[in-house]
Chains A and B, each alone.
Chain A
């Protein structure tokens, strides 16, 4: 177990370097960020040169990357174009996004798995077909449509909720955005659980458990659900990274000043420091989440051992 974790942690190093390098290069490929800083006019050459120097853009890319990574290891993520420290931006953005992600994940787990179990146990019945259709519709409608529609109906027409999120972004204001964010993943989770349950129902250990005369709910929760959750957990684990970084559309619609919004702003303004910094942290989150998921397997399925 210990050795396994160490091995995994070591493997993270090349992935981390590769991912940051790739992102660094991508932002660089987008071209000269200075051009966008002077509004609808050309920056005068002297100021442009001075700005390039200040942001270190006058050096070759590899050198920029090395300097940047060196700074990152000392906790310095650089400065955004508006003079704000990237770490400061992170300190305000990440808590908000983490709250949003927690809500989205909760939706996925509670609603997604519940629907999955129900449909998995009632395969082919009307309940199953109904949920199937619903999830498919959710998958096929883009998030910005769902988001705008719900915001308009719940926030303005019926006035049930605040249509936008205040800068403090407390949990209760994030419920609807969390649902919108989770919607597509929710559909995936439902379908994953459903098939997994439907299949494992016929497995020997479930038959044995039923034959032993265990009560139905005990069979479902202790035996059936536990092993069936593995693919679901895998999916949710990989989803954490996507939810945190991929909330760009949702965050924009609901006025959430989180990670997705900051990354999008960074991309639009071609602000290397912001984009690379945020994505670097996301890569770490993604890698750690993967590791945690893998360790969770052992909890869910006693047959799994780590070497």
Chain B
């Protein structure tokens, strides 16, 4: 039986190649696509249970994006936060918000989406006893210190800052002014949850129920999730295909190979080693588009060598010794773009992206690099090691290339060497225990498309992802002022000033902006990636 379907698929692929007629999916009309046809897409095993406030990586995020719709939704193309379930979010002081939920929305099990659906979900996410990895997203809401204290037991189960004031309205009180708070509400952690989630939690986790354009049909953990179009979905972004089968792959190279053999319709992470072949393998069935991801090299500021006067010159020197253009073109085939600031182009100029902010310090200049490093007192101990984790993301290639570039610029073959760490968990352990002695890999994928998200979690004193423990009063001050600013443009301006502090100190070396990439089979059309590098499944047409 399996053999038969397989042979059928191959035959189909051949037929498509020869005659360019539509194939598969029960004889659909080739032009506009068959609304009932199902596509298969590559997937990775989510690390944590699929609860909205517990999912902090892309693979689980893909599913949440299909089965949930929150108050806001980031436009798949521009990344702009737009009202989805929110009728309105009003505030006069940037600290107290009144949210009105649109009428007429239901979950796919028929339950109505009400103000309570949101408040219950957020309370659940913020409550310490539920172990939600993303709990800190609720940290600005009043009462978080009670439901999720730093130490000791929690003294409250619900956030005092959340109040249901009507069937479809609720109020949010923050502990401080946070003007862009409404724009963060598109993040999956803020999704509403049906009563079914609380009543029979195990059953819900085994087969999640949400309010998005797709509903989970079957879920075999670790191997496959079948999602089907939810016909009664009330939103405008109804699915244009019959459903998606997400298949877990052990390796993205294998997924790509399966795409070539017509066993798979969509791969959303083309492995770097195959980029050179993409044109000949897929022709124009390939997409390479900017995503909100930046790769940097962070430094251990708890180590004296990197925290003395003059060390910023060494960091700038190292930055200038990296030939970003060559590495992104040769190794990544332009699926990454040399970084010239510390945010991402997906923010847009209005959102705070400043092309060229880094200036000369991000331009390849071997002579200047050598000179600056000497002025700064030389590399500590005469050499640096770049630490990275070897288990995911094929970092070895670019780390070696960066080191070779530094070595060539400094004219010393042993100035820089990569230092692989076997597992991601061990890598994170070494970081949290402050064991780094030189620069280390730091990648940042935005949670929501705001300049705040690229700066505050990474460089604010003691922030959650400030792995190098960098601390600067001026920076903190600008961020504080920006968060209190009610005018968005002014807030962005203040964040940019904060970013200027990062630049002057070269707190981290920006390497490149990472693009999302996807390849697909002949059956698909209208494949797009959103700024989070997740495919916009609902818009894909299957013929």
The answer to whether A30 touches B423, judged by C-beta atoms less than 8 angstroms apart, is yes
The answer to whether B261 touches A41, judged by C-beta atoms less than 8 angstroms apart, is no
The answer to whether B254 touches A31, judged by C-beta atoms less than 8 angstroms apart, is no
Complex CA gap A46/B467 in Å reads 18
Which residues of chain B from 334 to 368 have a CB within 8 Å of any chain A CB? none
The answer to whether B428 touches A36, judged by C-beta atoms less than 8 angstroms apart, is yes
Name the one of A43, A46, A257 contacting B128, with C-beta atoms under 8 angstroms. Answer: A46
Q: How large is the interface on A (under 10, 10 to 19, 20 to 34, 35 or more residues)?
A: 35 or more
With A40-B465, A43-B133, A50-B128 known as contacts, the answer to whether A30 contacts B425 (CB < 8 A) is yes
Complex CA gap A172/B129 in Å reads 47
The answer to whether A155 touches B261, judged by C-beta atoms less than 8 angstroms apart, is yes
Binds A, one of B83-91, B221-229, B478-486, B524-532: B221-229
The answer to whether A81 touches B251, judged by C-beta atoms less than 8 angstroms apart, is no
Binds B, one of A4-12, A105-113, A194-202, A261-269: A261-269
Binds B, one of A64-72, A82-90, A122-130: A82-90
The answer to whether B429 touches A269, judged by C-beta atoms less than 8 angstroms apart, is no
Name the one of B56, B392, B429 contacting A35, with C-beta atoms under 8 angstroms. Answer: B429
The answer to whether A255 touches B47, judged by C-beta atoms less than 8 angstroms apart, is no
- B128: chain A residues at CB < 8 Å are 46-47, 50
The answer to whether A38 touches B261, judged by C-beta atoms less than 8 angstroms apart, is no
The answer to whether A45 touches B151, judged by C-beta atoms less than 8 angstroms apart, is yes
CB distance from A123 to the nearest CB of B (A): 41
Binds B, one of A163-171, A185-193, A227-235, A289-297: A163-171
Complex CA gap A43/B56 in Å reads 11
The answer to whether B48 touches A36, judged by C-beta atoms less than 8 angstroms apart, is no
A253 contacts partner chain B, Cβ-Cβ < 8 Å:
yes
- A18: chain B residues at CB < 8 Å are none
The answer to whether A41 touches B2, judged by C-beta atoms less than 8 angstroms apart, is no
B150 contacts partner chain A, Cβ-Cβ < 8 Å:
yes
With A40-B443, A172-B3 known as contacts, the answer to whether A50 contacts B131 (CB < 8 A) is yes
The answer to whether B149 touches A46, judged by C-beta atoms less than 8 angstroms apart, is yes
CB distance from A32 to the nearest CB of B (A): 5
Complex CA gap A305/B442 in Å reads 64
The answer to whether B131 touches A168, judged by C-beta atoms less than 8 angstroms apart, is no
- A254: chain B residues at CB < 8 Å are 250, 254
- B165: chain A residues at CB < 8 Å are none
Complex CA gap A259/B260 in Å reads 27
- A83: chain B residues at CB < 8 Å are 48-49, 205
A204 contacts partner chain B, Cβ-Cβ < 8 Å:
no
The residue among B149, B249, B426, B465 with the most chain A CB atoms within 10 A of its own CB is: B426
Complex CA gap A234/B139 in Å reads 61
The answer to whether B222 touches A81, judged by C-beta atoms less than 8 angstroms apart, is no
A33 contacts partner chain B, Cβ-Cβ < 8 Å:
yes
Name the one of A33, A159, A253 contacting B254, with C-beta atoms under 8 angstroms. Answer: A253
The answer to whether B151 touches A46, judged by C-beta atoms less than 8 angstroms apart, is yes
- A151: chain B residues at CB < 8 Å are 254, 257
- A265: chain B residues at CB < 8 Å are 45
- B150: chain A residues at CB < 8 Å are 44-46
List the B residue with the shortest CB-CB distance to A155: B261
Which residues of chain B from 440 to 486 have a CB within 8 Å of any chain A CB? 442-445, 457, 464-465, 467
Which residues of chain A from 143 to 171 have a CB within 8 Å of any chain B CB? 151-152, 155-156, 159, 162-164, 166-168, 170
- B20: chain A residues at CB < 8 Å are none
A213 contacts partner chain B, Cβ-Cβ < 8 Å:
no
- A51: chain B residues at CB < 8 Å are 131
* Residue tally, chain B, CB below 8 Å to A: 60
With A30-B426, A44-B136, A162-B263 known as contacts, the answer to whether A82 contacts B221 (CB < 8 A) is yes
The answer to whether B223 touches A167, judged by C-beta atoms less than 8 angstroms apart, is yes
Complex CA gap A134/B116 in Å reads 70
The answer to whether B47 touches A269, judged by C-beta atoms less than 8 angstroms apart, is yes
Complex CA gap A37/B46 in Å reads 11
Name the one of B2, B425, B442 contacting A168, with C-beta atoms under 8 angstroms. Answer: B2
The answer to whether B254 touches A164, judged by C-beta atoms less than 8 angstroms apart, is yes
B424 contacts partner chain A, Cβ-Cβ < 8 Å:
yes
With A38-B56, A47-B132, A47-B133 known as contacts, the answer to whether A81 contacts B47 (CB < 8 A) is yes
The answer to whether A164 touches B425, judged by C-beta atoms less than 8 angstroms apart, is no
- A50: chain B residues at CB < 8 Å are 128-129, 131
CB distance from A221 to the nearest CB of B (A): 34
A2 contacts partner chain B, Cβ-Cβ < 8 Å:
no
CB distance from B1 to the nearest CB of A (A): 9
- A163: chain B residues at CB < 8 Å are 254, 257-258, 260-261, 263
The answer to whether A40 touches B425, judged by C-beta atoms less than 8 angstroms apart, is no
CB distance from A199 to the nearest CB of B (A): 43
A42 contacts partner chain B, Cβ-Cβ < 8 Å:
yes
Name the one of B249, B391, B457 contacting A41, with C-beta atoms under 8 angstroms. Answer: B457
A239 contacts partner chain B, Cβ-Cβ < 8 Å:
no
Given A31-B425, A163-B263, A167-B247, 9 new contacts (CB under 8 A) = A37-B47, A40-B443, A46-B149, A47-B131, A84-B222, A163-B254, A253-B250, A268-B425, A270-B423
Q: Could you jot down 20 A-B contacts, CB within 8 Å? A: A35-B432, A36-B424, A38-B56, A42-B467, A43-B133, A46-B149, A50-B131, A82-B48, A82-B49, A84-B221, A92-B220, A151-B257, A152-B257, A156-B257, A164-B255, A164-B263, A167-B220, A256-B250, A257-B222, A257-B223
Binding site for A on B (CB under 8 A): 2-3, 6, 10, 45-49, 56-57, 128-129, 131-133, 135-136, 148-151, 205, 220-224, 247-251, 253-255, 257-258, 260-261, 263, 391-392, 423-429, 431-432, 442-445, 457, 464-465, 467
